[in-house]
């Protein structure tokens, strides 16, 4: 295995993923037409949430995760649990849609734990109801198959 050297890189040498992907983020062969990638730049909070909601509505939880992950990496320290928790919920939804129920449940619970931690120390922000999202993430034993859509 050659590791990181096989990753796509931008002109500055930073790893970037140019490989096409399907709607659930699975890599497709080069030359295949996939869904358009999300930019790897942090959107302002309200824009990041709006874009993540759009992507979830389109059945693209992996892309929603990428939007929220970029926001998390750029967020002030006191908001990191919020954005990372939201990103983890989207990864959980991605795993559920891919048929990985146990992986989905683990990520949903991790995301819920982060949202609980955030809600315990911060007030509501950006109209995100952390308690509703955490309860949704912990509901059901099937990791998303019969769960209603994520209430972001």
Which pTM does this prediction carry?
Answer: 0.84
Domains of the chain: 45-138 (1.10.3450.10)
Pull the structure tokens for residue 116. Answer: 């609980």
CB 105 within 8 A of CB 152: no
How far apart are the C-alpha atoms of 146 and 129, rounded to whole Å? 21
Structure confidence by residue, pLDDT tens digits, 107-145: 999 999 999 999 999 878 999 999 999 999 999 655 445
Structure confidence by residue, pLDDT tens digits, 70-108: 999 999 999 999 999 999 999 999 999 999 999 999 999
């Amino acid at each position: 295995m050659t590791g990181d050297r096989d990753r796509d890189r931008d002109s500055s040498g930073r790893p970037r993923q140019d490989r096409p992907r399907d709607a659930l983020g699975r890599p497709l062969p080069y030359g295949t037409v996939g869904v358009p990638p999300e930019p790897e730049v942090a959107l302002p909070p309200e824009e990041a949430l709006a874009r993540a909601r759009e992507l979830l509505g389109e059945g693209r939880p992996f892309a929603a995760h990428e939007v929220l992950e970029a926001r998390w990496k750029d967020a002030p320290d006191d908001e990191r649990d919020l954005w990372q928790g939201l990103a983890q919920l989207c990864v959980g939804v991605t795993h559920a849609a891919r048929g990985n129920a146990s992986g989905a449940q683990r990520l949903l619970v991790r995301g819920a734990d982060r949202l609980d931690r955030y809600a315990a120390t911060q007030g509501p922000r950006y109209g995100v109801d952390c308690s509703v999202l955490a309860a949704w993430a912990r509901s059901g034993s099937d990791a998303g198959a019969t769960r209603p859509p994520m209430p972001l």
